[in-house]
Chains A and B, each alone.
Chain A
Amino acid sequence: MPDCEQDFIARTMQRLAGELSAEPGPSAAAMWWRLNLRMRQERARRAQAPLIWMTRILYLAIALLAAFLVTLMTQLSGPVVTTGLVAFGVLTIPAGIALWGWARSGF
Chain B
Amino acid sequence: MDEESFHAFYEQTARSLRAYLRSMLMDQNLVDDLLQESYFRLLRAALPVATEPAYRKNYLYRIATNLVHDHRRSRQLEQLPEDFETLTPAASPDAAHDVGQAFARLKPREREVLWMAYVECFDHREIAAVLRMGTASIRPLLARARARFGDVLRRRGLGE
Contact = CB atoms under 8 A, between A and B. Distances in A.
- Give chain B's interface secondary structure class: helix
Contacts of A4: 160
Given A16-B23, A39-B44, A21 B96 contact: no
B99 A16 contact: yes
Contacts, number: 98
Interface residues of B, number: 40
Nearest to A39: B43
A12 B39 contact: no
A9 interface: yes
B96 A14 contact: no
Contact of B96 (A8, A19, A31): A19
Contacts of B88: 19-20
Band of interface residues on A: 20 to 34
Given A5-B146, A19-B89, A31-B14, 4 more contacts: A8-B150, A21-B15, A21-B16, A26-B36
Interface of A: 1, 4-6, 8-10, 12-17, 19-23, 25-26, 28-29, 31-32, 34-35, 38-39, 42
Interface of B: 3, 6-7, 10-11, 14-16, 18-19, 22-23, 32, 35-36, 39-40, 43-44, 87-89, 92, 96, 99-100, 103, 114-115, 118-119, 143, 146-147, 149-150, 153, 158-160
